[in-house]
Structure 1
Amino acid sequence: MNNNLKMFYDQEADVLYVTKGHPKYTDYVEYGDNVILRFHPGTKDLVGFTITDFSMSFKKHDSDIQLPFRVNFEMEKELAF
């Protein structure tokens, strides 16, 4: 599985999907009212999350949504500045 970050927003359902790589099957845990954390069933590594009622979540919290994990960003290839 690659580690590229993929995001998809379903406007009709108001759901944001964020996934690392291409996990086919995942275990999941509900975290709070609108967040679903997705884990690889074998390794239990976090492989993605889903935020339901995405646009309303920001209105309710007035800015940030806090999630229970850290992210390390790494460039796939070097950029020339």
Structure 2
Amino acid sequence: MRKEVQFHYDREADVLYLSVGKPQKAKTLEIGDDFVLRLHPKSGQVIGLTIINFAKHFPQLRTGRSDFPANGSFNAARLFEQALSVQLQ
């Protein structure tokens, strides 16, 4: 079953919240400095990712706008994988 990925960027706190499907309560797993996976409390499946200091980790996405383009479809697992690879460098 395909689920939408929702995001919210808090510019003041510089935090990006990504949720697979509707945001919900979750267990958290810190996977490194500034990266937190959100896991379904029963299944353990990844249901979200929080990136603290987002602009520091992804300066190429900075624009003068309050948001960035989010049209189209993308693979959430790939996005999480990319975030992890940036964190591990």
- Scaled to the shorter chain, the TM-score interval is 0.5 to 0.7
Correspondence for 2:84: 67
Q: Normalising by structure 1, what TM-score?
A: 0.68
Correspondence for 1:55: 55
| Alpha-carbon offset, residue 53 of structure 1 | 0.5
Q: Per residue, is there more helix in 1 or in 2? A: 2
Give 5+ residue unaligned stretches, structure 1: 60-64, 69-81
Aligned residue pairs total: 62
| Alpha-carbon offset, residue 3 of structure 1 | 1.6
Q: Deviations over 1:9-45 (max 9, x none)?
A: 1000000011001142100100110100000001100
Q: Normalising by structure 2, what TM-score?
A: 0.62
Q: Output the CA distance in 2 between the equivalents of 1:52 and 1:40.
A: 20
Correspondence for 2:29: 29
Identical residues among aligned pairs (%): 37
Give 5+ residue unaligned stretches, structure 2: 60-81
Q: Output the CA distance in 2 between the equivalents of 1:58 and 1:4.
A: 22
Larger radius of gyration: 1
